[in-house]
Chain A
Amino acid sequence: MTDWQGIVGRHSGLVWRTAYRLLGNEADAADCFQEAFVAALELSRRQRVRNWPGLLQQLSTRKALDALRDRSRRARRSGQPADWMAVPSRNPQPGQEAEAAELAAGLRQGLADLPHEQAEVFCLRYLNDLRYREIARLLGLKTSGVGVLLHRARQQLRQRLSSEKVRSDVEVSP
């Protein structure tokens, strides 16, 4: 029988950090946290889970990316920019912090617009530090396929972030 309490106890911090980092606010991260665990629980009823932390990172990343896409879609529909700067900050941000916040926001937006698999692989590699082989196993890919997806994701994100940077530099120029 699955030791559910033990699994939740051991991995709740990991899932919370994964969700919060991508979503940047507590309410969305709490939803994502629960959805990831519930999805993992349902999966465990159907098949044996060998790598709980890996599975939970994958599911929380996937759910958080879904929420980011949803946020992006809603923003497009309403014609309002999405709240990508969702990381709460009560203090005005000095230059470096502001730039970091902008970059983080740009990355969130970029991830929301990337194809599913690319975004997922990118997050698992660069935000969760999973190895190629582990990602490949979790997503049912070849290790070389992970490399290809990462390369494409980086390429698209680089273009996007660079063009945003140029735009914001132009906007702040007199």
Chain B
Amino acid sequence: MNDESNIQAEQIVDRAVGALRDAPVPPGPPPEALSAVLAAGGAAAQRTEHKTITQRIFTMKRLPKIAAAAVILAGIAALVWLLVGPGTATVAWADVQERIRNIRTLTFTAVTQYEGAVQMKSTVMMMEPDLMRQEMMMGESGQRKQKIVNIVDLGESKILQLVAERKEANVIEVSGLPQDASLQPSAWRKEMDWMARIKALIGEAQTELGEKEMADRKVKGYRVERDNALLKVWVDVETGALVEMEMTVLNGGQKTVMTDFQFDKELDRELFSLEIPEGYTVRTTQMDLSEPTEKDLMELFRLWTEWMDGSFPPVMERKATRQFMQYQIEKLKKAGQEPAKEYLQKLQTVIMKMSRGGMFVAQLPPESDWHYGGKGVELGQADKAVCWYKPKGSQTYRVIYADLSIKAVAEEDLPPEPDEAEPEAPGPAD
């Protein structure tokens, strides 16, 4: 090697380091991760406090939440996909439909990692039409685990969670379930268009992951990425049987690996009863899975200005949540107080409510021409437009003002363009 190539070889490490250092880093961490970490501190103080699965699902954003609820149903989706997938192309559509119609029960085991913090193994039982039971042991490593049973009855729009050790029953009343057949197994099976849905999924799909050995079987893998979730499915090369399915919710830090699939195993209907055992303390909560609307956006502004001393969010992005949390904690510290568990829970509830407004904005299509100019605007400034957008099919824009009034405005009468050069608000000092 000559001198020049020696120098080049020496420099290559520095150039690689420079490339990695200069690679863009998006604002973060995600608010879910931040609140999980903050909650971990609260849990440490409480020692025995664990987030149960429904509490975890309850605190997720809508998409991960739906994905969590749908993770079980995704099992069937993937199964169908496999039946019609490239590996088993000889199976006729009619056969596939018949096979699915004939499935009465399904059981499998699922190992779930939530937010990188807890590994949970559960047994899942499903019974036609809308029933699911999940039995699991939860708890952090080194601590005593407790058994938790979740019973889902989609027909009743209810989830019952039983924590035997603490004699607690949590009833979750689900509202606003999307009229999406992929989330409703009974409708799913009755409606013929679910096949089209699955076909579409396959059409989008995909990547083959190749073949490998798994539990002494030769398996072939497929990868599907959709709706914020990544699905990897492994099927026996010889028999076409489903061997393993892995689902990762891309932004929610949730990964579930499903194995040991059994079909039409005899299951007792009583396993899915929503009856609460005697002596249990009952707590009822609501879970809203409906599509977010403008009302949710107004609620976001109302809550934000109430908690942030009259100011509007500087940006309508995820990082705003972090600023919100920091502001609240700083405020408390200035008042010489420590954030108590109840306070953090309250904050989490507020963030949950506000997140629906954020979701409303996030789902606006580009043609809605969303503009936001709330930075530096104070509640009550009736002449200041905070934001505007054009609803689908509308001739006029909806303009929201800082006094929380809304007006329909023609395009030519819109307020001046808000300054888009919004520097990132200072993050936490390192």
Contact surface of A with B, Cβ cutoff 8 Å: 1-6, 8-17, 20-22, 24, 26-27, 29-35, 37-38, 41, 45, 53, 77-80, 87, 99-101, 103-104, 106-108, 110, 126-127, 154, 157-158, 161-162, 165
Contacts and interface: CB of A to CB of B under 8 A. Distances in A.
Given A5-B329, A32-B116, A108-B20, A158 B26 contact: no
Interface string B31-45: 011101110111011
Contacts of B339: 5
B37 A26 contact: no
B212 A77 contact: yes
Interface string B48-63: 0000000000000000
Interface stretch (B9-17, B68-76, B363-371): B9-17
Nearest to B209: A78
B55 to A, nearest CB: 16
Given A80-B210, A104-B20, A30 B28 contact: yes
A21 B12 contact: no
A13 B253 contact: no
Contact of B29 (A6, A30, A154, A165): A30
Most A CB contacts (10 A, CB to CB) among B41, B248, B329 go to B41
Contact of A17 (B17, B25, B330): B25
Contacts, number: 158
A77 B209 CA distance: 11
Interface stretch (B80-88, B145-153, B413-421, B422-430): B422-430
B20 A127 contact: yes
Contact of A4 (B12, B44, B427): B44
Contacts of A101: 19, 23
B374 interface: no
Contact of B23 (A2, A30, A45, A104): A104
Contact of A161 (B12, B34, B333): B12
Given A8-B34, A30-B253, A35-B117, 16 more contacts: A4-B44, A5-B339, A8-B41, A11-B430, A27-B248, A30-B32, A32-B116, A34-B40, A79-B212, A80-B209, A87-B24, A104-B19, A127-B17, A154-B13, A158-B10, A162-B12
Residue in A32, A107, A108 whose Cβ sees the most chain B Cβ within 10 Å:
A107
A100 B29 contact: no
A104 B16 contact: yes
A35 B116 contact: yes
Contact of A103 (B15, B212, B428): B15
Nearest to A24: B23
9 contacts: A4-B41, A12-B29, A12-B322, A12-B427, A13-B430, A30-B251, A33-B29, A34-B253, A78-B212
Nearest to A27: B250
Interface string B307-332: 00000000000000010011001100
Contacts of B41: 2, 4-5, 8, 41
A35 B325 CA distance: 20
Contacts of B250: 26-27
Given A20-B28, A29-B28, A31-B116, A12 B21 contact: no
Contacts of B12: 103, 158, 161-162, 165
A127 B13 contact: no
Contacts of A33: 28-29, 33, 37
Contact of B38 (A4, A53, A161): A4
B357 interface: no
A34 B115 CA distance: 7
B73 to A, nearest CB: 22
A107 B21 CA distance: 11
A11 B18 CA distance: 23
Given A12-B34, A16-B28, A24-B23, A103 B16 contact: yes
Contacts of A17: 25
Nearest to A156: B13
